[in-house]
Chain A
Amino acid sequence: MIDFCCDIGNYAFRQWPAEDVAGTLPLLDRAGIDTALVGSIDAITYVSPHPANERLIADIKANDPAGRLIPLTVLNPVYPGVERDMEESRELGFRGLKLYPNYHGYHADDPPALRLIETATDFGWPVLITMRVEDERHHHPLMKVGGVDLNTVIEAAKQLPQATIILSGGNSAETPRFLRAIGDLPNACAELSYVKGPLKALENLVGEFGSERMLLGTHLPFVYPGCGIAKIAEAAIPDEAKQAILDGNAKRILGL
């Protein structure tokens, strides 16, 4: 299995069971996950995110000798010097870009964000655009961050049809709306970590959209990984669809 929604680091608002690579790998083992695309949790709330990327990649190089973690750089497109951060990220070994428009204060379809996504596309990277980090009702009382406007993600995908834009953290209403909107764009996809219902949600999604545009996402360490896996692995959908969502589509996107 390949997990498209996993993060590593300290979260400002809650303690998680693992906050580094050494702690995360056993969680992946327990869940049966072979490979995970990981970004830095610290970078979500850092004003200047890149130092957190540097710490994550150092941890991965020191503690993931098998190469199970595919590092994603978390950058703010409107922060000074982001172009150099992007270049450095490639040199450091990052293999994708993860964006948090609502935490860093921009829209996914703003020109600076589009330029960064274009650069990522030139690098051959996937770009994850995160809709939310946790349930909006339970945020810290002094830091309430609303979800990202899905229309801006759709617009970014339409403006950059060659980009591999992956909706991350889209809920049960947003995910089908995104999949419907991207239509025949060749590369856009959604990871499913935040699709928690309704009853038989996976059956309905596969019935309407097929299985080619969906990816496993657990949202480790925020969420029990079994939740994201069970709803796919035990759904009443064909085995080929399960395999595609659990790892086949990811291999295609990542060229594995």
Chain B
Amino acid sequence: MLIDFHCHVHDDGTGAQTDLVAEEARRIGLDYVVIYECVTHSRESLEIVQRCNEMCRFAYEREPDFFIPFVYTHPNLGQAGIDELNKGFDWGARGIKLEIASVITDKCVEPVIEFAIERDVPLVQHCWHKTTGNYPWETEPLHCAEIGRRYPELKLVMAHIGGDNRWGMRAIRDVPSVYTDCSGSISDYGHIEDCVAQLGADRLLWGTDVRGADYLYTLAKVRDSHLDDEDKAKVLGGNAARLLNL
């Protein structure tokens, strides 16, 4: 099974981008695509959150058997942010995406974490460690490790192996409840093997970051790795299927 755990369709309301992503994903041989929409610098805006979720719902309803939608929110919006989660799960969301509105260790994120635990759904947190400096409110891998220790029952997915994967995988390697996805442009030779060696093959999920990234490029870093076939199958879809109860 081939499941992309990290895709942004960014449909403009015409359906063209949804069709483009679905067509290319099927051409490559994917079985499912996990989709979510989010905006990096917009923490004060409920309207932005609602627009992102409407965009996600639109794409999902165009491809209901192929796309698996996650709902997006800004935890700093308080109850209004939680209301968005409830609305999302009402129309079919299967998980939660957080971007850069709050650091995941912020107090305001606790209700979102508790929501994810109560529903037993994955929570994907954008995560990057940059030596050039993070954005304000941008989560980094040590934050994910802290939340994984505090909430071992949470299905937390640290996105992008934390950007700088060397730093990211070390940050979470002793926190067994935290998963990570290898989405994005980073394709350092050997990092997929290192990640499996440090975390185990059950904690790494393949993701792409399409449409910003390319399906073929991001698929090749797992396909071209030296993992054995069993571990590749887990990374490319088996782990995602288990997390999503497919």
A and B are partners in one complex rather than unrelated chains: yes
In this complex, how many residues of chain B approach chain A with their Cβ under 8 Å: the count is: 35
Taking a contact as CB atoms closer than 8 A, the residue among B20, B131, B220, B224 that contacts A140 in the complex is B131
* A116 close to chain B: CB less than 8 A: no
Q: Is the beta-carbon distance between B189 and A196 smaller than 8 angstroms?
A: no
Interface check B196, CB cutoff 8 A: no
CB distance from B23 to the nearest CB of A (A): 9
Using A137-B164, A224-B224, A226-B221 as known contacts, say yes or no to A196 and B24 having CB atoms under 8 A apart: no
Which one of B128, B166, B188, B215 contacts A199 once the chains associate, using CB atoms below 8 Å? Answer: B215
Q: Say whether A197 faces chain B, with CB atoms less than 8 Å apart.
A: yes
The answer to whether B223 and A226 touch across the interface, beta carbons within 8 angstroms, is yes
A200 at interface by CB-CB < 8 Å? yes
Report A34 CB to chain B, min CB distance, Å: 18
- Interface residues in B176-227 by Cβ distance below 8 A to A read 185-190, 192, 209-221, 223-225
A218 to chain B, nearest CB (A): 10
How far is B155's CA from A254's CA once the two chains are assembled, in angstroms? Answer: 53
Q: Which B residues are CB-close (under 8 A) to A224? A: 187, 189, 192, 220-221, 224-225
Q: Are B131 and A199 in contact (CB under 8 A)?
A: no
* Chain A positions within 8 Å of B163 at CB level: 137-138
Smallest beta-carbon distance B157→chain A, Å: 21
Task: Confirm or deny: A180 has a beta carbon within 8 angstroms of a beta carbon on chain B.
Answer: no
**Residue from A221, A222, A236 within 8 A of B27 (CB atoms):** A236
Contacts of B187 in A (CB 8 A): 196, 223-224, 227
Query: Does A220 count as interface, using CB distance less than 8 angstroms?
Result: yes
Question: Which among A17, A202, A228, A230 has the highest number of chain B CB atoms within 10 Å?
Answer: A230
In the complex formed, the residue of B with least CB distance to A221 is: B189
Residue contact A225 to B224, C-beta cutoff 8 Å: yes
B150 contacts A by Cβ under 8 Å: no
Q: Is the CB of A199 within 8 A of B211?
A: yes
B residues less than 8 Å from A139 (CB atoms)? 131-132
B215 touches A223 (CB 8 A): no
Find out whether the CB atom of A141 lies under 8 angstroms from the CB atom of B189: no
Closest-by-CB residue of B relative to A220 is B189
Q: Could you count the A-B residue pairs with CB atoms below 8 Å apart for me: how many are there?
A: 101
Complex Cα distance, B212 from A87, in Å, reads: 44
Bound: A228/B209 CA distance, A:
17
Contact B221 A231 (CB under 8 A): no
Query: Hey, which chain B residues are within 8 Å of A229, CB to CB?
Result: 220
The verdict on A209 contacting chain B, using a C-beta distance below 8 Å, is no
Q: A137-B164, A201-B214 are in contact. Are A223 and B189 (CB under 8 A)?
A: yes
Judged by a CB distance under 8 angstroms, whether A46 is at the interface is no
The answer to whether A198 has its CB under 8 Å from any CB of chain B is yes
A-contacting residues, B1-24, CB 8 Å:
20-21, 24
Given contacts A196-B185, A199-B21, A224-B221, contact A144 B214 (CB under 8 A): no
User: Is B41 part of the contact surface with A, judged by Cβ < 8 Å?
Assistant: no
Tell which of A31, A144, A200 has the most Cβ of chain B within 10 Å.
Answer: A200
Question: In this assembly, does B130 line the interface, its C-beta being within 8 Å of a C-beta of chain A?
Answer: yes
Say whether B190 contacts A227, CB under 8 Å: no
Whether the pair B189, A17 counts as a contact (CB closer than 8 A) is: yes
**8 pairs across A/B with beta carbons < 8 Å?**
A31-B224, A134-B188, A137-B132, A138-B186, A197-B211, A201-B214, A227-B217, A227-B218
